[in-house]
């Protein structure tokens, strides 16, 4: 089949039940976060550095964009069953099954990693008192000021703040889907969905502006300021669900599906912009002290561009999708949750017991990243094999599963 044989308006869409490139996307997100945390585990991470070390730290710290990738992935995969049911006129996914699947996917592995990190590794991971233990085990600690990060020393698992955001999103999503469905009774469902996602993005952006200016309560720093990133994935879910009925994607999205390398070039360019923001001695006057707005905007652009080839594209077409489907990449994506939970306490332990205090950041980062990699991978695989997989199987017994893991 040649390109001329293909209707340009009907780029292939993965089936509603499975998007086989998303494990690859998770692998990319986990890798970027892994690199980001190499810089944080160094004692000199907050000091002013010069020369190549300064560039190294900016490149590594720019890896916090991986969190944006995870949020956009969640926005797409978790919202798509809701929007697909709405556009097709079916009942919404079973909320009992949704809650069970999400809880069993997140909590058991997190509990084991947290207890092991605090009791066994004891490296910059500590919890004092039953209230803090409860807050971290329930993943509500970002709502409790005394359970947050003290200075630069984390309490509990460093990446767990993002799990609090995710759990809050799980609670928000069914309520949001219900409101959009009810509000769309007087208009076409697709129009209601598009307006709803636009409202989510706008509300999140407005809240971020207010939060930067100050005067907002602490809970705003959990889900509300992250909503633009989730909304990017939710918007792709709306268009993807619409395409299930045979309607074409908009021309720009169709073009993106035909040029996945260009999408990833945009994603890489946005990441380079994040690194530049960290390196720039003087920011453009238009940004002022609101450089975080530019950072979030670049995160949203990069996440959307990264996801596009996995949402719309020619069947088996191109090296990008082949890469995302490669067995090694899929394996890393499959165990990515374990990697996400375990890599920082392992890195902290290595930084304390292996790395010399006089080592420069570049050398220390290479050693920390290299030594931690096989240890993290082995523990993450064991977590997936013996903990996460049984939990997922258990969750599937509670009604029909509404979304991918």
- Spatial CA neighbour of 351 closest among 33, 188, 25, 125: 125
Res 246: pLDDT: 78
Res 202: pLDDT: 95
Res 124: pLDDT: 65
pLDDT (tens digit, 9 = 90+) per residue, 270-311?
A: 999 999 888 875 556 555 556 778 889 999 999 999 999 999
> Using an 8 Å Cβ cutoff, are 41 and 23 in contact?
no
CA distance 118 to 342: 12
Q: Lowest mean pLDDT of 2-16, 174-188, 212-226, 377-391, name the range.
A: 2-16
Q: Is the pLDDT of residue 3 over 80?
A: no
HSE-CB of 236 using CA atoms within 13 angstroms? 34
The residue with greater pLDDT, 5 or 45, is 45
CA distance 229 to 252: 20
Strand partners, 155: 126
Backbone angles phi, psi at 133, to 5 degrees: -60, -45
> Using an 8 Å Cβ cutoff, are 104 and 391 in contact?
yes
For residue 99, with 0-12 CB atoms within 10 Å meaning exposed, 13-18 middle and 19 or more buried, which class applies? middle
CA distance 3 to 314: 10
Residues with Cβ within 8 Å of residue 175, at least 6 apart in sequence: none
Q: Tokens standing for 155?
A: 């309490």
- Spatial CA neighbour of 61 closest among 376, 380, 374, 361: 361
Res 1: pLDDT: 34
* pLDDT tier at 5, thresholds 50, 70, 90: very low
* pLDDT tier at 326, thresholds 50, 70, 90: very high
pTM as predicted? 0.90
Q: Lowest mean pLDDT of 30-39, 154-163, 307-316, name the range.
A: 307-316
* pLDDT tier at 150, thresholds 50, 70, 90: very low
């Amino acid at each position: 089949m040649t390109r001329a044989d293909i209707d340009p308006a009907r780029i292939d869409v993965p089936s509603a039940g499975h998007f086989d490139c998303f494990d690859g996307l998770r692998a990319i997100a986990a890798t970027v976060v892994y690199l980001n945390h190499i810089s944080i585990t160094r004692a000199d991470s907050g000091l002013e550095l010069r020369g190549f070390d300064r560039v190294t730290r900016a490149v590594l710290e720019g890896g916090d964009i991986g969190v944006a990738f995870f949020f956009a992935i969640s926005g797409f995969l978790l919202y798509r069953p809701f929007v697909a049911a709405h556009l097709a006129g079916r009942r919404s996914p079973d909320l009992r099954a949704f809650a069970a699947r999400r809880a069993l996917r997140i909590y058991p592995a997190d509990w084991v990693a947290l207890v092991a990190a605090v009791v066994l590794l004891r490296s910059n991971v500590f919890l004092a008192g039953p209230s803090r233990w409860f807050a971290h085990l329930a993943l509500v600690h970002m709502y409790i000021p005394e359970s947050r990060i003290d200075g630069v020393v984390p309490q509990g698992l460093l990446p767990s703040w993002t799990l609090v955001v995710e759990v809050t999103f799980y609670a928000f999503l069914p309520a949001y889907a219900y409101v959009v469905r009810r509000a769309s009774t007087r208009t076409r469902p697709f129009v209601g969905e598009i307006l709803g996602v636009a409202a989510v993005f706008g509300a999140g952006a407005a809240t971020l502006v207010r939060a930067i200016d100050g005067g907002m309560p602490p809970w705003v720093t959990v889900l509300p300021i992250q909503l633009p990133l989730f909304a990017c994935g939710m918007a792709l879910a709306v268009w993807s669900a619409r395409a299930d009925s045979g309607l074409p994607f908009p021309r720009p999205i169709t073009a993106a599906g035909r040029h996945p390398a260009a999408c990833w070039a945009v994603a890489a360019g946005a990441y380079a912009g994040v690194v530049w923001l960290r390196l720039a001695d003087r920011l453009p006057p238009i940004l002022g002290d609101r450089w975080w707005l530019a950072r979030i905007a670049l995160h949203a652009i990069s996440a959307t561009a990264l996801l596009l080839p996995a949402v719309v594209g020619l069947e088996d077409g191109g090296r990008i999708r082949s890469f995302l489907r490669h067995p090694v990449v899929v394996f890393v994506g499959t165990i990515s949750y374990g990697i996400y939970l375990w890599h920082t306490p392992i890195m902290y332990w290595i930084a304390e017991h292996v790395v010399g205090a006089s080592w420069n950041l570049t050398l220390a980062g290479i050693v920390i990243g290299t030594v931690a990699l096989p240890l993290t991978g082995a523990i993450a695989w064991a977590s997936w094999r013996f903990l996460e997989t049984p939990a997922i199987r258990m969750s599937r017994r509670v009604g029909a599963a509404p979304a991918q893991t």
